[in-house]
Amino acid sequence: MKRRECCLASVALVACALVACALAACALARPPFTQAAAPTAADPHVATVVFLWPSTSCDTGGYYTLATDDGKFLGNIAAGTQLAVPLAAGDHTLLGWNGSRTEGDDAASMVSVPVLHATLEEARTYYVQLAFGEWDDKGPRQMHTVRTAKRVCFRIGNVMSTAMVALTPTSDFWSELPALTSELPATSSDAVAGQSWLDANQATFTAHRDLAKARFEALRPRAKPLATLQASDGVIATR
C-alpha cells in the first residue's frame, strides 16, 4: 500500500511539473512588449479598440504587430488572444504585419498587411477581428474544394492572407462577440517599450504603411465597409 501511495504521489508530482512547464511555456510564448491584462477602470476620455484573434486552421505563425499609420505602436497580438488598446477619439488608419518575421521590403505583400479605417468616439469600445485565409488583397473570398465543399485557406505563394474585419452591431458575426471576448485571454501592451522599438524600425513600419494604404484603396466597394469602423459602431462604456 505504501509503495502504491508513493507511486501515486510521484505521478501527481510529475503532473504538477508538466502543468507548471505548460504554464511557463504559455508565458514565454507571449509576443514582445505584451503582458497579461490587469483589470483597470475605463478612461471615459478615450476610445478603446479590442483586437480579437480566434485561432483557426488558416492561422499564420508568430504574432502580428499593430500600429496606426501615423506611427503609434498599438501592440503585438498572438493567435488565440485579444488585445485592448486605448486610442484618442477621431479618425485613424490601423494596420498590421507579421512582426515575428524578418522581411525585406521586397518580401512584404499587400495580402499579408491587414488595414482598417476607424472613426472613434470617446467612451466607446470597438471590436476588430483578425481573419486569416479569408481575403485576397481586394476583399473576402469564398473558397471551397470541389468535392467536399471544405473551405481552403487563401494564400499567395507561401504568404497567408490577413485582414482586419470590423465587428459591428449590424454585422453577421456580432452574436459571436460575447463568446469570443470570454474565451480569448486578454493581453495588454507595454506601449513605451513598444514605441521605442517601432521608432527604431522606421523602414519596416514605412514599408508596411505604404502597403496598407495601397490595399485599402484597392478594396472592392463591398469590402471597404467591412474594413471600416464608424463612430456609432462602438459600445458605450457603462459607468
Residues 45-73 have pLDDT tens digits of 999 999 999 999 899 889 999 999 999 99
Same domain, 82 and 11: no
Same domain, 127 and 76: yes
Query: What number of other Cβ atoms are within 10 A of residue 72's Cβ?
Result: 17
Residues 178-201 have pLDDT tens digits of 999 999 999 999 999 999 999 999
pLDDT of 27 reads: 42
Same domain, 10 and 52: no
In total, how many domains does the chain have? 2
R_g of the chain, CA atoms, integer Å: 20
Same domain, 88 and 44: yes
Q: Collapsing DSSP states into helix, strand and coil, what is residue 78?
A: strand
Residue (of 96, 119, 148) closest to 234 by Cα position: 119
Residue 149 has pLDDT above 70, yes or no: no
Same domain, 173 and 228: yes
Same domain, 10 and 123: no
Same domain, 187 and 153: yes
Q: Give yes or no for a contact between 82 and 188, defined as CB atoms under 8 angstroms apart.
A: no
Q: Give yes or no for a contact between 187 and 30, defined as CB atoms under 8 angstroms apart.
A: yes
Residues 206-220 have pLDDT tens digits of 999 999 999 999 999
pLDDT of 109 reads: 87
Same domain, 71 and 188: yes
For the ranges 25-34, 38-47, 133-142, 216-225, which has the lowest average pLDDT? 25-34
Rounded distance, CA 119 to CA 164, Å?
15
pTM here is 0.84
Same domain, 192 and 207: yes
Strand partners, 144: 151
Share of the chain above pLDDT 90, in %: 68
pLDDT of 121 reads: 97
Residues spanned by the domain of 8: 1-30
Same domain, 9 and 109: no
Same domain, 103 and 193: yes
Q: Which residue has the cell 481573419?
A: 131
For the ranges 3-12, 107-116, 129-138, which has the lowest average pLDDT? 3-12
pLDDT of 134 reads: 93
Same domain, 82 and 100: yes
Q: Give the chain's mean pLDDT.
A: 84
